[in-house]
Amino acid sequence: MALKFEIRTQTKDAYGVPRARTGTLTLPGKHGQNHQIHTPQFMPVGTVGSVKGVTTSEVRNAGAEIILGNTYHLYLRPGHERIERLGGLHQFMNWDGPILTDSGGFQVFSLSELNKIDDDGVTFKSHIDGSTHRFTPEVSMEIQRALESDIVMAFDECPPYPAEPERVEAAMKRTFEWAKRGLEVPLKPHQNRFGIIQGGLSEELRMKSAAELSTLPFDGFAIGGLSIGETPELMQSMCKTTAPFLPIDKPKYLMGVGRPEDLIECVRGGVDLFDCVMPTRNARNGQVFTSTGKLNIRNAEFADDERPLDENCDCDTCRNYSRAYLRHLFAAGEILALRLNTIHNLQFYLDLMHQIREAIDQNRFDDWAENFYTNYHARKD
């Protein structure tokens, strides 16, 4: 069993470079379900076995076709072996769709107190209790095998931003060596593997990383190490430079990105898959995305506002609650506020991807994007 990726519409830019496209990614599924994912697609993040604040049925209702789980978090708590004993991550968290797990690399470098990185792997301390652990490419594969995710990410080294060119190059080379080692570890029959490109903000290294990694038998390729502090413009430019150097017939995944405008610009660059905590995290901070721009529901201006968050949205929150009520819940510290905002933001992101796919298929992506930006920048706050 292996994933199948069928491209429906493939646009090219003025130079003939392959750009925005739509397609269907079919993942076999643990029970042979043949999960279909319509690309470009956005994956809500379920860090510790829950998309924060909502149930999986709400995630599904918002339009999600695939979610992401975090290997680092699930390894530490409740433990991958426990999850395997309990029937795998899908059953544990009651999600019948496909799951992509990251490799744990990014979290080890960003969340934990790092002890030591060497060519073999990384020793780190848990951000929860300070206990010492070690990840290698092989360990990351074993954890993801136990989690039973449908897409398994290669274990990579993500250098910080900014970093010395030598550091970035070394991380890129190590990521390549680790990718090869990970491929040697057997997975479960339904699982698929994506490799990860590194190379920091050097176009040269990015292209080299893409070229090298493309020689390995991955089922898809990801652009890692972006959106870690650089400007959105730099991120978008680096993504657009890298994407065409990845195999055209395989899905392309931009990790950890981003704002609605980042999704649009990176789809334009040729990306098929995205994930980001932004819709869920910002919801919990009261920031809500709407077709006329972002708004912060804490603001007093909404105290008597009877309108829904977004008059163009038909999510449960917009159909049932006013801004005034949501503002009140947030001000009163009611946890329902976090959930209602999250439901809306998820639907906004997933609707956005739906609109993008439709626009590409109808050969009007540029017009659609221009129109989206005009409306999205209409709000002043």
Q: Which is nearer to a second copy, 20 or 68 (CB)?
A: 68
Token pair in block for residue 284: 């919990």
> Cα torsion for 51, 346, 273, 120, to the nearest 10°?
-30
Q: Which of 155, 151, 175, 182 is nearest to 68 (CA)?
A: 151
Kindly state the smallest distance separating residue 32's Cβ from a second copy, in Å. 22
Residues that bind a second copy (CB under 8 A): 48-50, 52-55, 73, 77-78, 82, 85-87, 92-94, 303-304, 306, 320-322, 324-325, 327-329, 331-332, 334-336, 338-340
Judge whether 102 counts as a catalytic residue: yes
Kindly state the smallest distance separating residue 319's Cβ from a second copy, in Å. 9
Catalytic entry in 272, 275, 310, 351:
275
Q: Which is nearer to a second copy, 7 or 324 (CB)?
A: 324
| Distance of alpha carbon 82 from the chain centroid | 25
Judge whether 275 counts as a catalytic residue: yes
Q: Which of 144, 140, 137 is nearest to 68 (CA)?
A: 144
- Calpha distance 268→377 (Å, rounded): 19
Q: Count other Cβ atoms within 10 Å, centred on residue 168.
A: 24
Kindly state the smallest distance separating residue 55's Cβ from a second copy, in Å. 7
**Which burial class, exposed, middle or buried, applies to 34 when counting CB atoms under 10 A from its CB (0-12, 13-18, 19+)?**
exposed
Q: Which is nearer to a second copy, 245 or 325 (CB)?
A: 325
Kindly state the smallest distance separating residue 295's Cβ from a second copy, in Å. 18
Amino acid at 236: Q
Q: Which is nearer to a second copy, 226 or 326 (CB)?
A: 326
Q: Which is nearer to a second copy, 129 or 381 (CB)?
A: 129
Q: Which is nearer to a second copy, 78 or 293 (CB)?
A: 78
Token pair in block for residue 313: 């949205």
List 5's β-bridge partners, or say none.
Answer: 25
Kindly state the smallest distance separating residue 199's Cβ from a second copy, in Å. 34
With tokens 């992101």, the residue in question is 349
- Calpha distance 313→151 (Å, rounded): 31
- Calpha distance 105→379 (Å, rounded): 38
Kindly state the smallest distance separating residue 311's Cβ from a second copy, in Å. 17
DSSP β-ladder status, 18-27 and 35-39: antiparallel
- Residues marked active site are found at 102, 275
